[in-house]
Structure 1
Amino acid sequence: MSTLQEFLNANPVDNLTEEVFISERFKDEDGNTFLFKIKAMTNKEFNDIRKRATKIKGRKAEFDAEAFNKSIVIEHTIVPDFKNVESLKSLGCSTPDQYLERVLLSGEVVELASQIQKLSGFDTEMETLVEEAKN
């Protein structure tokens, strides 16, 4: 029987990826599904994104859930590449945020962000993360 230490050593979390299906919209006419390849966030990446999505206004901290979700999706989706310069140009976008807005519905962005968070070990709801970020 192996120990927890041996298990951890044999299963590092860097480069942890998964293919996920996020919406019925991503099926072709033959019924084939298009999967998104995502990667897990490190603690540092999660905290950096959370900080960027939190704005201090006076004595209040405001958490921008939309900016948080977009950043997670843009930074942790491998396929498709939302930062691909040719794709951005083809749709007349100058930023990955603009491209994301053109190719995904808002519910799809939330679902993809949720899948990335689950892969990263977060089994909590977005509301819980928002409350943690405010505190």
Structure 2
Amino acid sequence: MSDFQDFLMDDFGEVEIVEKTVKLGGKEKKMKFKPITAAKGDELRKSCRKISFHKGQKIIETDQDAYMAKIIIETTMHPDFKNKELQSSWGVLGAENLLNAMKVKMLDGEYSELFSIVSEINGYDKSMNELIEEAKN
């Protein structure tokens, strides 16, 4: 007899919203994050893929910068990057354009720290830079 009780749908917990203080633009901001599902992660990765063919061989490349932006946007609950009023205050349309506008006011290390927090909340135990280096090798 196989024991599958631990894998019944009711045994899977709901994800919780995590509140963190993050330094952005030189000031500390309270932000809220919610982990994405594995299915959503797959969807985001696929949307950042480019498929090409070289000498008859299929080559799949993932735009890591685009993936980082999408995972930050989908994981961040507050501020809501999809909020039209917030986008308007920055003079942009679209969540990715808002994040890019905010990046202009952030230090590079602040953006990396934001992604590090998002990665940790989503269950990655390695930083994206480590994962990128592993993928290159």
Confirm or deny a common fold (TM above 0.5): yes
What amino acid is the match of 1:43? A
TM-score (norm 1): 0.74
CA distance in 2, matches of 1:53, 1:73: 14
Number of aligned positions between the proteins? 122
Who is 1:110 aligned against? 112
Shift, 1:57, TM fit = 2.2
Map of 1:19-98 to 2, 5 A cutoff?
A: 19-23=19-23, 25-27=26-28, 34-58=29-53, 59-98=58-97
- Runs of 5+ unmatched residues, structure 1: 28-33
TM-score (norm 2): 0.73
Give the structure with the larger strand fraction. Answer: 2
Shift, 1:92, TM fit = 1.5
Q: Deviations over 1:48-91 (max 9, x none)?
A: 11111221122322221110111011111011111110111122
CA separation of 1:40 and 1:132: change in aligned 2, threshold 3 A: farther
CA distance in 2, matches of 1:10, 1:93: 42
Who is 2:123 aligned against? 121
Shift, 1:17, TM fit = 1.7
Q: Which has the higher contact order (CA 8 A, sep 6+)?
A: 1
CA distance in 1, matches of 2:97, 2:59: 28
Q: Deviations over 1:81-110 (max 9, x none)?
A: 111101111221011111111123344333
- Runs of 5+ unmatched residues, structure 2: none
Q: Deviations over 1:94-135 (max 9, x none)?
A: 11111111123344333222212211211023145447889x
CA separation of 1:38 and 1:101: change in aligned 2, threshold 3 A: same
